[in-house]
Structure 1
Amino acid sequence: MDIKQLKALVTVAEVGSVTRAAELLHLVQPAVTRQIRTLEQELGVPLFERTRQGMRPTEAGAIMVDRARRALNELERARAEVLPTPGAVTGIVTAGLLESTSDLLAEPLVSALARNHPGIELRLMTAYSGHLQQWLDDGDLDLTLLYNLDSTPSLNARPLVRERLWVAAPPAAGLRADRPVPFAEAAAHRLVMPASGHALRALIDAAAARARASMDVVVQTNSMRVQKQLVLAGHGWTVLPGVGIAEDVANGTLSAAPLCEPDVWRSIVLATPRSGRTPSAVEAVARELVRQIDMAVDQGRWPSAQQTQSPSPGE
């Protein structure tokens, strides 16, 4: 098993075609076919099914593709770390951002790293907290923002920010930041909610129980953007973190107010693996991400957020 075989395996799986994979790898088609067959003979199992729609990984093939992709990524990272520019921090860093924070943090983070650490190749992933935690556990992320998580035997969780959840409605509702809305009052409206099983939905359900309020949930979705689109279209009100609606409130597409009776908070943490060496590039990205969050809170760009005092990365 060699690197060329692994690259062929991953590329064929990604494009579903030996011909197209050969073009991307700058090889002739028989060479790619031979690499796949040699790998199948070595493992003793078929890795692809040949279908009318193209090459589809078998169950064994899917396992190999996943492991091969990670192995290739690690080799690429190692190459970037051992061939540095003198005096510069270099390397590949894969960071996770909560979907609700991406509009606020992604561009400033990329700009700051390009300015201060041009030798770092940043790969940004955005998703909900549960997905990001799974990717971190699987080794696909070097660091990520998560919420309502304590440190575990496998993860370090550094608290960064506490923020309130807000109720959001069409502009005609006239909700205001200085007039918190009791949960029971919000629940009296039709609601567009995160899907059951989502961590944010768990927070909302717990608040409903404390308020002894029943919710008329008309739509559930796993997309924050869809939540806001449906509210704007008049399908109901919704509940979101303040950071997820800051821009919408500022430009007048939504009105919003913090929830009260009870107040509903979530805590955002910076999570990193406990095991293994932390490359200097990962430390640099962690420091810059924390700096961007601190600036967003200090400048009032993160509604109703409170910084959580904790040691800086590396302390």
Structure 2
Amino acid sequence: MTSFGFFLSCEEFTPQQLIEQARLAEQAGFTELAISDHFHPWNDAQGSSPFVWSVIGALAQVTDLPVTTLVTCPTVRLHPAVTAQAAATSSVLTDGRFALGVGTGEALNEHILGDRWPEYDVRAEMLEESVEVMRALFTGEQVSHHGRHYTVEDARLYTAPERPVPIHVSGFGPRSARLAGRIGDGFVTMQPDEGLVRTFRESGGGDKPVLGGLKVCWSPDREWAVKTVHRLWPSELLPGELAQVLPTPRHFEQASELVTEEQVAEAIVCGDDAQQHLDAVRQYVDAGFDHVFVGQIGQHYQGFFDFYRDRVLPGLRGA
């Protein structure tokens, strides 16, 4: 049965707002949380980007909901050994209710130390090696690793998880879906693409979980909602690999000048039509997703939670 969670957007909301949203999500009937892991927001209008591991520590104190990062890049900005320590501590703080979503990352966040931004095949190779390193460290044993991309010497996590942290691998095309099937404990993808889900399952994923979701903008004023999405998240409509290769929020702002309000109105659920919200989420259920996370764009999130509690979540659960 599909579970429905709330997506916490670190790019748009302050740490205090994220913590408030987690409480409201639990009260509204969402059963889990996902949270983004960014160094930069996608554009200056979003205006936020706290360190995700500090936020997860705070979330562990205010809610019992499971938490998953969607997604962390454990290859460039953070070494996989450091990521493993952060994930292990998060697992301990949440009593084992933490999962690590990982991906090959975006230049937007990973170029900041001046490292070269590799092509996809190299990044995928780095991700596979980083997963190997993290899994070894999650055992709590002393680990030394001398690989093509990473070196670890005599490292041990003394605050180790009781059981290995699940590692869900993100992807947006067939190659990454096959990689997730081969090395992941689950698959993360953000489009309700039944074909990608099938590729993951046929490439070794089997019955492992598939996670994904969507952003919406609830408001009683649909025109306001469309304008809000166009101002804050036009990057959602950028095509191809732009999201992986553009290096700064300013570059995303420049590319997003090509996105119109009409395109936003057509592509993203805006307003308070419950059927539209239900239909959008059900696309993921129908495509075979096990976990679907919904994020609210804009500051009307109290109304969003009331709306989903009363009119959307009961319909999704067959009430």
TM-score by length of 2: 0.25
> Which is higher, the Rg of structure 1 or of structure 2?
1
TM-score by length of 1: 0.25
1 or 2, which has the higher strand percentage? Answer: 1
